[in-house]
Amino acid sequence: MSEENIKPKTALVTGAGRGIGKSIAEALARDGMKVICVSKSESSCGSTAEGIRANGGDAVARAVDVSSSEQIKLACEELLSEYEYIEVLVNNAGITRDNLLFRMEENDWNDVLHTNLTSCFHWIKLLGRPMTRKRWGRIVNISSVVGLTGNAGQANYAASKAGMIGLTKSLAREFAARSVTVNAVAPGFIDTDMTSDLDERVKEVALSQVPLKRFGTVEDIAEMASFLCSEKASYITGQVFTVDGGMVM
């Protein structure tokens, strides 16, 4: 058995303070990984890490604003000097700034693209190199079904999520020879803070488009991410997995 199979793996999950990212961090901790929980505010990633430790898992928290390349670079420098090699990266942090195109401000475009997409470029560039050197790694990018279908009022968000899919497929090809897999998960409508503010009418319309007739839970997404980060998924790379109750077939 190789050293990688014995040593507990370290995973970094962005946007781990709430919602889907929190559930992914908890799932990876249950899988036996040490989890570095990243979110914008110290208190939210801190409380996720504390919850994991209270349940017997291993986790630390790190506040990083992923829209800042400087903050990502500084965090990676410090983390890599401590851990040398982080085997698993889940790019989950994301925001929306919805509006119809003619009303969308340039800031709303830039904030969404920097937070959702450019952040992935920086994290993967910095944490991917040790993965390729060690010839084992798992990268999972949390995209969205709107990255596949588009959505009126979400040109910035859909472009960022479609960009994550192109990034995933390109890097899967670049890293494959080093046994580093890169996959994307495209959630449908999941019950989190991101969707809780939506108008009841919008929610009704969304639900009518879900063949399984319910909104997804954060655990539905965490289960898929946990599988893709495991040894069991070693022959899967460059794929996009929709977890959406059958919305996009």
Query: Which one of 50-58, 88-96, 120-128, 223-231 is the stretch in contact with ligand NAP (CB under 6 A)?
Result: 88-96
Reading the block at residue 31, the tokens are 């899988």
Is 195 an interacting residue with respect to ligand NAP (CB under 6 A)? Answer: yes
* Count of residues in contact with ligand NAP, rule CB under 6 A: 29
Smaller CB distance to ligand NAP: residue 117 or 136? Answer: 117
Is 113 an interacting residue with respect to ligand NAP (CB under 6 A)? Answer: no
In the list 33, 36, 60, 66, the residue contacting ligand NAP (rule: CB under 6 A) is: 66
In the list 13, 60, 72, 93, the residue contacting ligand NAP (rule: CB under 6 A) is: 93
In the list 4, 58, 65, 223, the residue contacting ligand NAP (rule: CB under 6 A) is: 65
Reading the block at residue 87, the tokens are 């085997």
What residues between 141 and 160 interact with ligand NAP by CB under 6 A?
142, 144
Smaller CB distance to ligand NAP: residue 10 or 23? Answer: 23
Reading the block at residue 247, the tokens are 């919305």
Q: What is the 3-state secondary structure (H, E, C) of the chain?
A: CCHHHHCCCEEEEECCCCHHHHHHHHHHHHCCCEEEEEECCHHHHHHHHHHHHHCCCEEEEEECCCCCHHHHHHHHHHHHHHHCCCCEEEECCCCCCCECHHHCCHHHHHHHHHHHHHHHHHHHHHHHHHHHHHCCEEEEEECCCHHHHCCCCEHHHHHHHHHHHHHHHHHHHHHHHHCEEEEEEEECCECCHHHHCCCHHHHHHHHHCCCCCCCECHHHHHHHHHHHCCHHHCCCCCCEEEECCCCCC
Query: Which one of 82-90, 129-137, 169-177, 193-201 is the stretch in contact with ligand NAP (CB under 6 A)?
Result: 193-201
Query: Which one of 17-25, 99-107, 132-140, 225-233 is the stretch in contact with ligand NAP (CB under 6 A)?
Result: 17-25
Find out whether 93 and 14 touch, Cβ atoms under 8 Å.
yes
Is 197 an interacting residue with respect to ligand NAP (CB under 6 A)? Answer: no
CB of 235 to ligand NAP, least distance (A): 25
CB of 141 to ligand NAP, least distance (A): 9
Chain contacts with ligand NAP (rule: CB under 6 A): 14-15, 17-21, 39-41, 44, 64-67, 92-95, 115, 142, 144, 187, 189-190, 192-195
